[in-house]
Chain A
Amino acid sequence: MAISERMDDVTDLSLRRYLAGALEPPMQALVEAALRADPVLRARLDGLRLNAAPHDPWRLPPPGAAATLGLGASARAGAVMDAAAADYIELRLSVPEEALTHQVLLLSRAPDGWRVIAPESADEVFTAADLPAEPDGARRVDLSLEGDAPWRFGVVLLPPAVAIPWDAPPPERWSDIQARITLGELRVEAVQFG
């Protein structure tokens, strides 16, 4: 057994922290010294390396974080009281008057990232004004629930000047909108349910 295996200081967690580059300089120096001296430790380190993670180009804000951008959304179980039994939810959007002419983009977050669920083609484009209005003025969208809880949905409002290039393949089709979301230029909000 190598000495390092008996030392409490260089644990698997400190090796993980080393791989993440998150050790403070003194511990970093100690782990580096231990690694130089100990092939067993180096083998342990290699076993903890992770493969590269894929990126999702969509940068929707976390639920609640972007309320200042002007769009309110909430979710509730549709027609039934028990959330677990719900098969759809109602999104209620507090759309400012001046944004009623904006196109609505609805997204759903899947395990591998966000995907646009509506509109799916140029024929299906709709504006906030096209959505049913509630008595309090909120606009309502019903969405079916697929897969397991929790479900997360995103709503993006596109001003008339922002057009969706439907002829472009999906990655390029959304790149301008993704960049505008990142820059905080669009009204956008995400909501989680379940």
Chain B
Amino acid sequence: MNPIVSGLSPEGFLNTRATRRRLAEGGGPLPELLSGWRFADDPIAVAALIAALDAGVTGNTLSPPAHRLALAGLPGEALLAAPALSSDASSARLARLRLDAWAAETAPEPAAPVTPRVWALVTLADIGADIELEVRGAWRQQQPPAAADDVDAAALWQRWPTGGPALWAAREPWEARYLDAAVGAFRQVLASRELPPERVRSALADLREGFWFQLLGGSEGAPGWAELAARVLETAPPGPVEALTGSLGASARAVAGRCASARGYWPSTLERLLSDVPGRKARGLTAAQQIAADPARSEALLDLHVALRLVAGWQRPGGSSLSRDWQVIRQNRGRGRGRLRALVTAAPEPIIDRICGLEGLHERTLAATRRWAWDWSWEAMARGLELDFTRPVSAPCQVSDASLTPLEESARPAAETWILLVALKGRLGHLQRWTRAGGTGDRDGTWGRLLNEELPDSLRDADGRYHRLRAWLAGGLDEALAGWTPTLSAIAALRPGRALKAGFHELLRARWDDRVRFPSAGFPTFRRNAAAALDELDAK
């Protein structure tokens, strides 16, 4: 039989699985069970996670799908026959995804069922190990050094902060090295949308002409070269989160702490971890101090946040899936890195020296250009392929008002339902732009009605504005959308025709928060928009 993971035989894979199950059933030691997570040696963080998990067990809200429970309860020998273990794959995570898909299809009967708590602990252990090995491990892969290319790349990078004729002299060599990387990303995005050939040609011509000017930057926010530098920096050892955090100055760290105390689901993470620190703002400050004392702490905090979001997701109606778990991981880690990149980008000059010392700088710059251009192309798509060179590709880190009270926990189901309604009405792009910029750049009537007529009063500020909602969306939108992904898939898969409305009701009635008006018409459009929203989410 082929090995399933480099250096790990199927037997090794199954032994690890059995060990984790034994530890979970025996109650620990938890640091050993959760050793992949960077907070595993922090007893307070581990206790915060277990408390969240046990609250779900006690409240009977932790209800993994039957096939996931069954899979956890299957003896190792039964898995040896599964296609995931009988075919070659060099990733434990891939093997787990395939096992999950196999179990969903074959619905195996477990000989020794496990409890939801044991399932959750084993799953957390698996995911923690996979994050360490296959997420952080992938970022740690060394870029191949190419001495001459790297020296040239460093010389070019050093011109960016200087401006003037010396910078313009770098245009040709810079474009010779990196423009095609950006064009390649744009072309694939454009091809995915099956646009008319003349529009593609025109957009690519715009890109070729505008690439340099996007890097130069416009009147708003950070210049493109600073965004790109941050993306190169995040490839530096020991990993993106620590590399970025370690480059933050004191004030930027304070901003990071303040954001964490007010945005998305982070306030509840800090409340669980720092329950002895009274006050939301003080908890943000404490988190900033912890990061200042040890940049590695940022990875531990992010890991804890991700683990808590997974546990919260497993308690949502509609169940969970391993793919959705990885969406939550990707989005929370991606969002955290994006926030840190935005902070680094605000004062980019010091990081140029740092990135110029990196081995494999040319390859890192190429890879960063491709990722940056991919995001840029989706931004452009959202604007009808208008390339706007006056603004950066990434949202600037907008610090919310320190006195802002975060959206209450009780308001969030209504917010999540409203987000789904926005997606079904085909205005996800508007919501994303509004979250980012406070406006949508058009006078779209549907969006206006969603905001003015469909948004429940409980989601508005006391003065009727939207500061709290936008602050929450800034950190929580991606995860809320990830939570709706299975629902959107189910809506997209509904059969058109007479039964569509009934199918829609059946899917959504139980999960719909009544503070948001349940739609009474437009179901064929909702179905199409659900498919489009899934596409859009997939792109991120």
Residue numbers of A with Cβ under 8 A of B are 3-4, 6-9, 11-14, 16-17, 19-30, 32-34, 36-37, 48, 50, 53, 55-56, 59-62, 64-66, 109, 111-113, 179, 182-185, 190
Contact = CB atoms under 8 A, between A and B. Distances in A.
B94 A34 contact: yes
Contact of A21 (B90, B181, B535): B181
B120 interface: no
B452 interface: no
A53 B183 contact: yes
Contacts of B135: 26
A29 B139 CA distance: 10
B209 A61 contact: yes
B187 A50 contact: yes
Given A9-B323, A26-B135, A65-B389, A56 B208 contact: yes
Contacts of A59: 175, 208-209, 212
Nearest to B104: A6
14 contacts: A3-B84, A3-B101, A4-B98, A7-B98, A9-B323, A13-B192, A17-B374, A21-B366, A22-B373, A24-B334, A56-B205, A59-B208, A62-B389, A64-B390
B240 to A, nearest CB: 9
Interface residues of B, number: 67
B11 interface: no
B367 A21 contact: yes
A142 B263 CA distance: 54
B94 A37 contact: yes
Contacts of B181: 21
Contacts of A16: 188-189, 191-192
A13 B98 contact: no
A58 B133 CA distance: 46
Interface in B119-139: 134-135, 138-139
A179 B173 CA distance: 11
Interface string B145-185: 00000000000000000000100110110010000010111
Contacts of B88: 36-37
Contacts of A50: 187-188, 191
A8 B134 CA distance: 18
* Most chain B beta carbons < 10 A, residue from A26, A55, A64: A26
B360 to A, nearest CB: 13
B280 to A, nearest CB: 31
Contacts of B101: 3, 6-7
B13 interface: no
A8 B323 contact: yes
Given A62-B210, A183-B171, A20 B370 contact: yes
A190 B208 CA distance: 14
Nearest to A109: B205
Contacts of B139: 24-26
B14 interface: no
Contact of B535 (A9, A13, A185): A13
Contacts of B188: 16-17, 19-20, 22, 48, 50
Interface string B375-403: 00000000000010110000000000000
A-B pairs with the 6 shortest C-beta distances? A184-B168, A25-B138, A22-B374, A33-B91, A8-B323, A16-B188
A13 B381 CA distance: 15
Contact of B171 (A22, A32, A182): A182
Interface of B: 83-84, 87-91, 93-94, 97-98, 101-102, 104-105, 134-135, 138-139, 141, 165, 168-169, 171-172, 175, 181, 183-185, 187-189, 191-192, 198, 201-202, 204-206, 208-210, 212-213, 218, 235, 321, 323-324, 326, 330, 334, 366-367, 370-371, 373-374, 387, 389-390, 485, 535, 538-539
Nearest to B321: A8
Contacts of A183: 168-169, 171-172
Nearest to B234: A24
B138 A29 contact: yes
A147 to B, nearest CB: 10
A185 B167 CA distance: 12
B172 A179 contact: yes
Contacts of B205: 56, 109, 113
Given A61-B213, A65-B389, A20 B185 contact: yes
A168 to B, nearest CB: 20
Contact of B192 (A12, A29, A60, A61): A12
Contact of B206 (A3, A22, A29, A62): A62
A33 B130 CA distance: 14
A24 B172 CA distance: 27
A52 B173 CA distance: 20
B213 A29 contact: no
A184 B373 CA distance: 23
Given A13-B535, A30-B91, A61-B213, 7 more contacts: A6-B104, A20-B374, A24-B138, A36-B88, A36-B89, A37-B94, A53-B187
Nearest to A66: B213
Contacts of B141: 25
Given A37-B94, A183-B169, A184-B171, A24 B371 contact: yes
Given A3-B84, A30-B134, A37-B89, A53 B204 contact: yes
Contacts of A55: 208
B167 to A, nearest CB: 9
A161 B434 CA distance: 50
A190 B212 CA distance: 15
Nearest to A148: B198
B134 A26 contact: yes
Nearest to A21: B370
Contacts of A113: 205
Contacts of B201: 111-112
Contact of B389 (A22, A26, A64, A184): A64
